[in-house]
Amino acid sequence: MPLFSFVIRRLLQMIPTVIFILIVTFVLVRMLPGDPASAMLGDRARDADVNRINHELGLDRPLIVQFFYFAERIATGDLGNSIGLKVSVLSLIMDRLPVTLMLTALSAVIALALAVPLAFVAAFKREKLADSVIRGTFQVGLSMPVFYVGIILLTVFAAQLKLFPVGGYGTTLPDKLYHLFLPALTLALSFSAVLMRNLRASIINVMNAEYVDFATAKGLKSRVILLRHILRNALISTVTLFGLQIGTLFGGAVITETVFAVPGAGRLLIDSIYGRDYPVLQGLTISLAILVSLTFLLTDIIQAWLDPRIAR
C-alpha cells in the first residue's frame, strides 16, 4: 500500500519538525524586549519584586535548564498557566482556538467558492473580456493589505450599511457564521486571488495536454473530460498552493481578529505579546505551528491521492 507507507514516512518526518518548532519558539519568545515581571508589576516595580517573580516563574535559571523543563511540560501536555490571566494556558487555547479555526475554515470555503468557478471561466474565456475582468478584479484585491481590506469592509458593510455586526463572535452556529463572514471574506479575497491565478494556469496547461485531446477523440462526454481529466490534474498544483497558504491564513487571522474584535487565538496572541505572557505565547505558537504541519500532511495525502506517483 504505497499511500499508507507514504503517510507513515510523512508522520515520522514531522518529529524533527516539532522539535525544531519547540526550539525556535522557546528562543524567539525569550528574545522579546522586556520581561514578564516588569509587565506584571509596572514601570515602578522594585528590583526585589522583579527578582521574586522571575524566581517563581523559573526565569532566573540557565536557558538550557528552562528549555528542558519547558520541553518536559509540553511532552506531558502541561502548557502552564497564563502569567496575566492566572488561568491554564490549555484552557485558554481550547477556548480561543476554535474561533480561529472556524474563521480560517470559512475563509477557505469562501476562497474556493470564488476561485474555482472563476478560474474555469477565465481559462475557457482566455484572453477575452471575461478573463481580463476576472484577473484584473482579483489583482486589485491581491495588491491591498489584509488590514486595509478589513477596514474598508467594516466601514461600508458594518458601520454604514449595517448589514453585518462590527465585531464579536455570537453564540449559536448561524450567529457565529454571521459574525465571522466579514473577517472571513477579508482573508478570502487575497487567498482566492492566488488560487484563481494558479488554477487558471493549470487548467490551460492541462487543456493543451495530449491525453485530453485523446479523450476528446475517443468521444468521451465533456463532463467526463472536465471532471476526470482536466479538473483532477489541474488541482494537483492548486492543492499544494492551498496547503501552503493555510499558514498565511493563520497569520492573517491575527490581524483580522484584531480589526474585527473577534475573540480568537490571533487576538490572544497579540495581547500575550504586549503582556509578555511567555506561557500563552509559547502554547499558542506551538499549537498553530503543529496545526500548520498537520495541514501540510493532509495536503500531501490529497496530492498523493490525486497523483499516485507522488506516494511511490
Q: What is the pLDDT of residue 110?
A: 92
* 272 part of a folded domain: yes
pLDDT in tens, 204-228: 888 777 777 777 777 777 777 777 7
- Measured over the CA atoms of residue 265, residue 269, residue 271 and residue 276, the dihedral's sign is positive
Amino acid at 23: I
Q: What is the pLDDT of residues 16-28, one digit of tens each?
A: 888 888 888 888 7
**Containing domain of residue 250, as a range?**
89-311
DSSP state of 88: B
Domain count, the chain: 1
pTM flag (> 0.85): no
pLDDT at 265: 87
User: Are 262 and 180 contacting, i.e. CB atoms less than 8 angstroms apart?
Assistant: yes
CATH number of the domain within which 136 lies: 1.10.3720.10
DSSP structure class, residue 62: -
Whether 250 is covered by a domain: the verdict is: yes
Q: What is the DSSP string of 185-241?
A: HHHHHHHHHHHHHHHHHHHHHHHTSHHHHHHHHTT--HHHIIIIIIIHHHHHHHHHH
User: Cell numbers at residue 235, please?
Assistant: 488541482
In a domain, 14, yes or no: no
For the stretch 183-194, pLDDT in tens is: 999 888 888 888
Q: How far is Cα 50 from Cα 305, in angstroms, rounded to an integer?
A: 56
Residue 50: exposure state from Cβ atoms within 10 A (0-12, 13-18, ≥19):
middle
Look at residue 106 and tell me if it is in a domain.
Answer: yes
